[in-house]
């Protein structure tokens, strides 16, 4: 049964599929950056194609000048947007979150100690 390929196939199908390998944080971040760049380039390319209805799109968006700059190769985010994102999701926010959770943890410990001493 084990020596022939069909026997191995039958045996492995009984075991079920193997779960996919999870990405590390670094792999996840890198994959996100690569896929975002690729998608933005595809969008730029489509916007420059003859199939794209520029007038219809420009008439519907809030900032046609910014859109035109993006299609021409400019960044899809402004420096202000980058700054806001860094404040909310960057290393500074991780430090703030850590401090907030640490304070919550200390408050919970104090409450538990008070409850423990009042019940005895």
Per DSSP, the three-state class of 64 is helix
pLDDT over 90 at 105, yes or no: no
pTM of the shown model: 0.55
User: Looking at residue 104, what is its pLDDT?
Assistant: 60
Q: Could you read off the pLDDT of 53-80 as tens digits, one per residue? A: 988 988 999 999 999 899 999 999 999 9
Tokens of 29: 């971040």
Q: Could you read off the pLDDT of 5-43 as tens digits, one per residue? A: 555 555 555 667 788 899 999 999 999 999 999 999 999
Residue 78 to residue 71: CA distance in whole angstroms: 14
Residue 86 to residue 90: CA distance in whole angstroms: 4
């Amino acid at each position: 049964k084990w020596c022939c390929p069909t026997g191995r196939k039958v045996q492995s199908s009984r075991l079920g599929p193997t779960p996919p390998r999870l990405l590390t944080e670094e792999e996840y971040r890198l994959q996100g950056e690569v896929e975002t760049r690729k998608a933005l380039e595809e969008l730029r390319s489509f916007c420059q194609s003859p199939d794209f209805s520029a007038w219809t799109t420009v008439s519907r968006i809030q900032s046609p000048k910014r859109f035109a700059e993006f299609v021409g190769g400019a960044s899809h985010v402004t420096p202000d947007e980058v700054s806001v994102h860094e404040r909310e999701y960057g290393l500074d926010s991780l430090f703030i979150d850590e401090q907030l959770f640490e304070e919550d943890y200390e408050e919970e410990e104090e409450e538990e100690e008070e409850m423990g001493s009042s019940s005895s």
